[in-house]
């Protein structure tokens, strides 16, 4: 080796030193970008304002190693504005080029999110809170919000919380939801089909179960997806083991199941059913010891007593009155008793007072380490599915009302496919389930009931119900009407985030409302395979390339079809 090369080699710095220098340069650049203004405030309004951003500064920040600084000034990112005592945090809602200047200026609208104090020695933001007490003035300087700032802003304030993912765009700031605030004022999880909504719902419920293993959670599962996710941490009820007594139905629910006529005939049938049902309930020893009961009282009665009452009333008729309404009700009862699909409710067993044990099982009291009950209604005949959901929802509400004098045991009722049960006026069918869920949404929190609504069509939900949800977790929504509906229900300060709803990736969401300090965009954690719901999309190519066993499979399906699963 020539002497010149040797001296050159010996003079060059060690590789480690080069790496250290590069790291130091990155840190210095980050510090420069964090402490150099991005632009100025142009105009101030109550909820938001207009700012001017320096295009060259945005380009410089885009190269920064800190992902929060790299996104500074872009739509959906956070910027901070200096105030007398600390910093004001704002979210960028939109951008446009300022055509009046030299082309190096960007005009943006921002939404104020909250404010925090500044530590004199370290410059860190602390004591962050929602809302604004002191507005900046036009001309105030704007700076990027760094990952260190966001870590302080999103840090828990000491209330009990569950962690569900990471705050976008960072990879290490944990996103938490305050459980009491979220459940105390209801919540809604929204997202188009295929965005990971079911898995995200399972993740949130798993985290709640871990935080409160003695909780009481009832989930209505219309597709049988969640049984796989909660087989170890919950109790699964379906038509094979639900054993819901028919006598728990109130009069309105009896009418939905037993009466199929319309117009004047319906009112006549209702009058007859009310009279005979009250008489059947009155025959029970429980009723005889209670004095006065009503047609809605959950007193056990035998179906044979009800049909006998109908027969007796029919026998008292004079020749001028038709027997048709009596026969309609009697025939319907006989059909339900004979149809094996209705065995979970109208079984031929002896009628006993199982109300207390049924409630204990469904409401997980005691929970025995399994705080969630999954009510799989996928096997319930479609004509009474909404009635079954109505009974379960009403029992949650009635139990809370009649238990007001007890030590309160809050219950969380989670309803998947909520738009099917609480439809808007355009799709309303007058069913009892819509009325009871709307009542829970309006009055439930007074009695310790929390409502969780999961739906992919928020615009099909009753308007009043979504507006009662204090926390909204929105995943990607592809439909324009759904997006507009959610924006109308969201608080003003979250508008900048909401504009990014169509651009969210799978398993990403915007959370705003009571459950978080300020609106945040979150990437959900991955859930272990054993805790995921059975909602994965099938692989057509893989399944269509499998062959063999099709004839036997068809035979088995036909057999189950004919026997209705029995």
* Residue after which a domain boundary falls, among 453, 484, 514: 453
pLDDT grade for 8, boundaries at 50, 70 and 90: very low
Mean pLDDT of 369-398: 92
pLDDT at position 27 is 47
Give the range among 122-126, 208-212, 407-411 with minimum mean pLDDT. Answer: 122-126
Backbone angles phi, psi at 260, to 5 degrees: -120, 5
If asked whether residues 132 and 117 sit together in one domain, one would say yes
40: cis peptide before it, omega within 30°?
A: no
Tokens 């069918």 sit at which residue?
A: 429
pLDDT at position 2 is 41
pLDDT at position 565 is 59
If asked whether residues 66 and 112 sit together in one domain, one would say yes
Q: Which residues have a Cβ under 8 Å from the Cβ of 109 and sit 6 or more positions away? A: 48, 49, 50, 51, 92, 93, 94, 496
362 within domain boundaries: yes
Mean pLDDT of 59-84: 86
For residues 33 and 476, the model is more confident at 476
Mean pLDDT of 213-223: 91
Dump pLDDT digits (tens) for 443-464.
988 899 999 999 999 989 887 8
If asked whether residues 448 and 465 sit together in one domain, one would say no
- Is pLDDT above 70 for 10? no
Q: H/E element holding 187?
A: strand 187-190
Whole-number Å distance between alpha carbons of 536 and 514: 31
550 within domain boundaries: no
SS3 string of 498-553? HCCHHHCCCCEEEEEECCCCCCEEEEECCCCHHHCCCCCCCCHHHHHHCCCCHHHH
- Is pLDDT above 90 for 265? no
Own/partner pairs for 123-126, CB < 8 Å, 24+ apart?
124/148, 124/149, 124/152, 125/80, 125/86, 125/87, 125/149, 125/152, 125/153, 126/152
- Is pLDDT above 70 for 321? no
Whole-number Å distance between alpha carbons of 512 and 177: 10
pLDDT grade for 320, boundaries at 50, 70 and 90: low
3-state secondary structure of 52: strand
Whole-number Å distance between alpha carbons of 69 and 148: 10
If asked whether residues 411 and 448 sit together in one domain, one would say yes
pLDDT at position 100 is 75
23 within domain boundaries: no
Backbone angles phi, psi at 226, to 5 degrees: -90, -5
If asked whether residues 67 and 124 sit together in one domain, one would say yes
Residues above pLDDT 70, as percent of the chain:
89
If asked whether residues 64 and 163 sit together in one domain, one would say no
Mean pLDDT taken over the chain: 83
178 within domain boundaries: yes
Structure tokens at 350: 């002896």
pLDDT at position 155 is 76
pLDDT at position 187 is 93
pLDDT at position 436 is 92
CB-CB contact of 64 with 30 (8 Å): yes
Nearest one of 476, 227, 238 to 344, comparing CA atoms: 238
pLDDT at position 537 is 65
Whole-number Å distance between alpha carbons of 113 and 77: 12
3-state secondary structure of 488: helix
* Residue after which a domain boundary falls, among 453, 474, 492: 453
If asked whether residues 86 and 164 sit together in one domain, one would say no
If asked whether residues 46 and 143 sit together in one domain, one would say yes
pLDDT grade for 101, boundaries at 50, 70 and 90: low
pLDDT at position 374 is 94
333 within domain boundaries: yes
DSSP state of 410: -
Any idea what the CATH number is for the domain that residue 232 is in?
Answer: 3.40.50.300
If asked whether residues 140 and 73 sit together in one domain, one would say yes
pLDDT at position 208 is 92
DSSP state letters, 353-397: --HHHHHHHHTTSS-TT--EEEEE-TTS-HHHHHHHHHHHHHHHH
**Phi-psi category of 383—alpha, beta or left, where left has phi over 0 and alpha has psi -120 to 50?**
alpha
Mean pLDDT of 268-281: 90
For residues 288 and 92, the model is more confident at 92
pLDDT at position 538 is 65
pLDDT at position 152 is 81
535 within domain boundaries: no
If asked whether residues 219 and 264 sit together in one domain, one would say no
- Is pLDDT above 50 for 30? yes
- Is pLDDT above 70 for 496? no
pLDDT grade for 3, boundaries at 50, 70 and 90: very low
Dump pLDDT digits (tens) for 347-362.
755 577 888 889 998 9
Dump pLDDT digits (tens) for 180-193.
989 989 999 999 88
281 within domain boundaries: yes
Whole-number Å distance between alpha carbons of 215 and 234: 11
Mean pLDDT of 110-130: 79
* Residue after which a domain boundary falls, among 453, 488, 507: 453
Mean pLDDT of 24-33: 57
pLDDT at position 13 is 42
CA distances from 264 to 260, 267, 342, 535 (A): 12, 5, 28, 45
CB-CB contact of 238 with 376 (8 Å): yes
3-state secondary structure of 408: coil
- What is the domain count for the chain? 4
- Is pLDDT above 90 for 47? no
Range of the domain at 235: 209-245+352-453
3-state secondary structure of 112: strand
If asked whether residues 147 and 166 sit together in one domain, one would say no
pLDDT at position 70 is 87
544 within domain boundaries: no
If asked whether residues 238 and 253 sit together in one domain, one would say no
Mean pLDDT of 229-242: 89
pLDDT at position 454 is 94
Mean pLDDT of 140-147: 89
DSSP state letters, 243-310: ---GGGS-HHHHHHHH----HHHHHHHHHHHHHHHHHHHHTSHHHHHHS---TTS-----HHHHHHHH
């Amino acid at each position: 080796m020539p002497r010149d090369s040797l001296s050159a080699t010996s003079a060059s710095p060690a590789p480690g030193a080069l790496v250290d220098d590069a790291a130091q340069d990155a840190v210095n650049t980050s510090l420069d970008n964090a402490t150099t203004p991005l632009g100025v405030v142009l105009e101030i309004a109550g909820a938001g304002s207009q700012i001017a951003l320096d295009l060259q500064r945005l380009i410089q920040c885009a190269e920064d190693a800190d992902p929060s600084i790299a996104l500074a000034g872009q739509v959906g990112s956070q910027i901070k504005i200096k105030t007398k005592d600390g910093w004001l945090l704002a979210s960028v809602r939109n951008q446009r080029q300022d055509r009046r200047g030299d082309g190096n200026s960007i005009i943006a609208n921002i939404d104020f999110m909250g404010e925090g104090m500044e530590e004199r020695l370290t410059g860190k933001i602390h004591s962050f809170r929602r809302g604004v007490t002191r507005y900046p003035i036009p001309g105030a300087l704007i700076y990027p919000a760094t990952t260190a700032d966001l870590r302080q802003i999103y840090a828990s304030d000491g209330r009990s919380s569950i962690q569900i993912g990471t705050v976008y765009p960072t990879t290490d700031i944990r996103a938490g939801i305050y459980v009491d605030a979220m459940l105390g004022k209801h919540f809604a999880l929204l997202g188009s089909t295929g965005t990971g909504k079911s898995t995200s719902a399972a993740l949130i419920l798993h985290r709640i179960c871990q935080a409160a293993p003695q909780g009481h959670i009832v989930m209505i599962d219309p597709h049988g997806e969640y049984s796989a996710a909660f087989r170890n941490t919950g109790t699964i009820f379906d038509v094979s083991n639900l054993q819901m007594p028919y006598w728990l139905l109130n009069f309105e629910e009896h009418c939905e199941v037993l009466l199929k006529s319309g117009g004047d005939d319906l009112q006549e049938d209702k009058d007859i059913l009310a009279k005979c049902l009250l008489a059947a309930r009155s025959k029970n020893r429980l009723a005889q010891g209670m004095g006065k009961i009503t047609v809605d009282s959950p007193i056990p009665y035998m179906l044979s007593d009800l049909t006998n009452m109908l027969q007796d009333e029919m026998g008292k008729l004079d020749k001028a009155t038709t027997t048709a309404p009596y026969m309609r009700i009697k025939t319907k009862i006989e059909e339900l008793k004979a149809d094996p699909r209705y065995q979970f409710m109208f079984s031929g067993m002896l009628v006993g007072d199982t109300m207390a044990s049924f409630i204990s099982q469904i409401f997980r009291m005691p929970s025995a380490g399994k705080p969630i009950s999954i009510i799989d209604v996928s096997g319930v005949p479609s004509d009474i599915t909404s009635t079954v959901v109505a009974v379960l929802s009403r029992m949650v509400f009635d139990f809370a009302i009649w238990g007001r004098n007890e030590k309160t045991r809050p219950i969380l009722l989670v309803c998947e496919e909520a738009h099917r049960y609480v439809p808007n006026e355009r799709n309303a069918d007058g069913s009892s389930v819509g009325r009871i869920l709307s009542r829970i949404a309006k009055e439930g929190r007074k009695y310790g009931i929390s409502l969780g609504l999961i739906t992919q069509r928020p615009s099909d939900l009753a308007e009043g119900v979504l507006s009662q949800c204090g926390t909204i977790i929105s995943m990607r929504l592809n439909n324009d009407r759904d997006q507009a509906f959610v924006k109308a229900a969201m608080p003003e300060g979250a508008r900048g985030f909401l504009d990014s709803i169509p651009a969210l990736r799978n398993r990403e969401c915007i959370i705003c409302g009571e459950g978080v300090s300020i609106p945040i965009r979150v990437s959900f954690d991955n859930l272990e395979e054993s805790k995921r719901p059975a909602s994965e999309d099938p692989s057509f190519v893989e399944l269509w390339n499998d062959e063999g066993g099709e004839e036997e499979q068809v035979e088995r399906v036909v057999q189950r079809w004919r026997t209705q699963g029995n």
